[in-house]
């Protein structure tokens, strides 16, 4: 990291944004049915998988091998949001016990994970902002944040904070497209997808290579994924120019977007059924003649009673047919542009670009819904149902009903959280720690070899 990158002008405090709720909602109000702050104490006491969390954050440095760096975990920033919106930044811990005690004592409403710094965050004031002795981030997972509210202009079933099974496929699409690219294109292996607890998903890429990426490289990856550009002030937001599409976009379209659109969202969101809705799509066709021909057909044809097929499907076929007949340059990609506009993942670029951006930790409880931020298996993400994710009150009831358990079992055995922790361990944590161990050992070996060599004249 060069000093230029450290003194980034945009280096102000960045947290994953909390946008204002509807007016009239009281400060700090929670649906008492789903989230009771008193239950947090029980949650952190019995259910929050603190030991696994610590092992993850240590990335193998909590071992006994001489190559392990015992200072590593203490240089990681955590931040706690307490009741009454009190925000404690730059928390750091030397051991699992310290972390656990602090969490149980403070009962944070939210735990955020920050970067690993050059020195312990609690000692940061002793270090300069420039020169040689600097307090700066040195490692940080590559992260992505996908939020359903960014899709409000293409979903009609819900708005704002709500999500349902009709619009959730947009998140499924995002997971599939991004996960495949991270593995196949960028070669990353240790990727954790997490439900954000209400209306989106987070992605943590934890390979050593990913953690050591500079801000510039993170921005490059985020831009590689960026297709949707613009907002209510600009007109056409997806523009796929060129005689061909980049292989990444082709794969996204043929493997994911096309089917999810044509067999899913087109119908569940009734995208072509009413004038207001089909106008939004007609607006994306640069040829006025074609648009008005379709408009003409659809205005008269409101109830195509003879057709058994869904009206959206029928109209979509008509649109595709008309566009395929016209080989003009501006229309070449029109069908794809429409599909991309309605389905392609919309990332929050700022979250991914900066090493110092905080992001909520997995297994937190979402204060507004009471749902646990559970991991999502990307290989089975189509089966993930946000409406059945266990809530805090549900888990505590399960604990009561379950009664005693074997001493050797984890606290959450026999509750709905068991599956989530098991997924976290087997598909993410264990392979990750194995790779970390190998990395530590081999890099230590290489250093030893180097110092041996330097002695031979």
Partner 1 sequence: MEIVRSHVHRNISTNDAVNTLPLYRSAPPLEVRLEDFELYAMDRLRVLKGISDGLSRGKKPEEMEQLVVNLLKAHMRHQQASEVVNKDMISHFVLRLVYCRTEDLRKWFLSMETSLFRYRFRRENAEAQRAIMAEFDLPYKAVSHVEFESVKDKLEQVARSIGQPLPDKDTIFYKVPFEEVPELVAGRKVFINQGYAYVGMNQVVSLVATLFRSQLSKALTLTNRKWTSTIREQEKDRLTPIVEALCSSYLGPDYSQPREYAQISLKDIDQVAKSSFPLCMRHLFEKLREDHHLKHGGRMQLGLFLKGVGLNLDDALAFWRHEFSHKVGLERFEKEYAYSIRHNYGKEGKRTDYSPYSCQKIISSTPGVGDHHGCPYRHFSEENLRAAINRMGVNGRTLEDVMDKVRNRHYQLACTLTFEAIHGKQCDAGINHPNQYFSDSQKILKPKPQDPSATS
Active site residues per annotation: 77, 145, 147
Kindly tell me which of 152 and 317 has the beta carbon lying closer to partner 1: 152
| Residue 85: CB minimum distance to partner 1, A | 5
Residue 48's CB is within 10 A of a number of other CB atoms, namely 24
Pairing of strands 137-139, 359-360: unpaired
Kindly tell me which of 230 and 330 has the beta carbon lying closer to partner 1: 230
What whole-number distance in Å separates Cα of residue 241 and Cα of residue 221? 20
| Residue 358: CB minimum distance to partner 1, A | 14
CB 191 within 8 A of CB 378: yes
152: number of CA atoms within 13 Å, CB side?
Answer: 9
Does residue 244 sit in helix, strand or coil?
coil
| Residue 235: CB minimum distance to partner 1, A | 3
| Residue 435: CB minimum distance to partner 1, A | 15
Distances (CA, A) of 282 to 28, 78, 136: 43, 48, 50
Q: Which residues bind partner 1 (CB under 8 A)?
A: 2-4, 7, 9-14, 17-20, 23, 27, 85, 129, 150, 152-153, 184-188, 209, 213, 216-217, 219-221, 223-224, 226, 228-236, 242-250, 346, 348-350
Q: Helices marked H in 181-228 — which ranges? A: 208-211, 215-225
12 Cβ contact list (under 8 Å, min separation 6): none
Would you mind telling me the total number of residues written for the chain in this entry? 457
In the sheet that 191-195 helps form, which strands lie side by side, from edge to edge?
Answer: 142-147, 200-205, 191-195, 375-376
Kindly tell me which of 282 and 420 has the beta carbon lying closer to partner 1: 282
Kindly tell me which of 185 and 439 has the beta carbon lying closer to partner 1: 185
| Residue 104: CB minimum distance to partner 1, A | 25
Q: Helices marked H in 253-372 — which ranges? A: 258-259, 266-268, 275-282, 288-300, 311-325, 334-343, 349-353
What is the maximum alpha-carbon separation in the chain?
90
| Residue 28: CB minimum distance to partner 1, A | 9
CB 199 within 8 A of CB 152: no
What whole-number distance in Å separates Cα of residue 430 and Cα of residue 424? 9
Kindly tell me which of 202 and 218 has the beta carbon lying closer to partner 1: 218
| Residue 180: CB minimum distance to partner 1, A | 12
Pairing of strands 76-81, 87-91: antiparallel
| Residue 287: CB minimum distance to partner 1, A | 17
CB 381 within 8 A of CB 176: yes
Kindly tell me which of 250 and 307 has the beta carbon lying closer to partner 1: 250
Residue 141's CB is within 10 A of a number of other CB atoms, namely 22
What whole-number distance in Å separates Cα of residue 70 and Cα of residue 422? 27
Nearest CA to 133 out of 142, 143, 123, 141 is that of: 123
398 Cβ contact list (under 8 Å, min separation 6): 414, 415, 416
Phi, psi dihedral angles at 444 (to 5 degrees): -65, -45
| Residue 221: CB minimum distance to partner 1, A | 7
Pairing of strands 375-376, 191-195: antiparallel
The pair of three-digit structure tokens given for residue 289, joined into one six-digit string:
């003649």
């Amino acid at each position: 990291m060069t000093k230029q990158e450290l003194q980034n002008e945009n280096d102000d405090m960045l947290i994953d944004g909390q946008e204002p709720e509807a007016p009239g909602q009281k400060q700090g109000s929670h649906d008492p049915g789903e989230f009771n702050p008193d239950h947090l104490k029980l949650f952190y006491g019995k259910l929050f998988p603190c030991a696994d969390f610590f092992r993850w954050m240590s990335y193998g440095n909590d071992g006994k091998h001489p190559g392990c760096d015992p200072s590593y975990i203490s240089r990681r920033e955590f931040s706690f949001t307490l009741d009454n919106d009190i925000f404690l930044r730059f928390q750091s811990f030397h051991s699992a016990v310290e972390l656990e005690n602090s969490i149980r004592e403070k009962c944070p409403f939210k735990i955020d994970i920050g970067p690993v710094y050059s020195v312990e965050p609690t000692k940061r004031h002793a270090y300069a902002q420039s020169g040689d002795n600097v307090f700066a981030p040195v490692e940080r997972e590559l992260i992505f944040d996908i939020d359903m509210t960014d899709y409000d202009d293409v979903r009609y079933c819900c708005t704002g904070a709500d999500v349902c099974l009709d619009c959730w496929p947009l998140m499924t699409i995002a997971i599939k497209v991004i996960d495949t690219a991270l593995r196949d294109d960028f070669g990353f292996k240790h990727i954790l997808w997490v439900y954000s607890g209400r209306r989106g998903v987070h992605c943590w890429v934890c390979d050593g290579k990913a953690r050591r990426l500079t801000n510039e490289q993170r921005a490059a990856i985020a831009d590689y994924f960026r297709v949707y550009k613009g907002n209510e002030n600009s007109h056409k937001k997806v523009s796929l120019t060129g005689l061909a599409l980049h292989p990444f976009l082709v794969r996204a379209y043929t493997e994911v977007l096309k089917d999810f659109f044509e067999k899913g969202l087109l119908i569940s969101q009734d995208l072509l059924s009413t004038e207001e809705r089909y106008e939004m799509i007609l607006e994306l066709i640069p040829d006025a003649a074609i648009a008005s021909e379709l408009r003409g057909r659809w205005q008269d044809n409101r109830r195509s009673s003879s057709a058994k097929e869904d009206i959206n499907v029928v109209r979509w076929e008509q649109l595709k047919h008309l566009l395929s007949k016209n080989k003009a340059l501006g229309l070449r990609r029109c069908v794809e542009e429409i599909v991309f506009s309605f389905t392609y993942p919309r990332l929050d670029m700022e979250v991914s670009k900066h090493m110092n951006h905080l992001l909520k930790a997995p297994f937190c409880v979402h204060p507004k819904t009471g749902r646990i931020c559970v991991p999502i298996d990307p290989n089975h993400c189509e089966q993930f149902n946000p409406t059945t994710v266990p809530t805090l009150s549900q888990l505590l009831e399960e604990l009561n009903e379950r009664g005693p358990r074997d001493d050797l079992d984890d606290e959450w055995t026999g509750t709905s959280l068991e599956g989530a922790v098991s997924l976290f361990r087997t598909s993410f944590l264990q392979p990750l720690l194995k790779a970390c161990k190998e990395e530590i050992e081999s890099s230590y070996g290489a250093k030893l070899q180097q110092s041996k060599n330097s002695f031979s004249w």
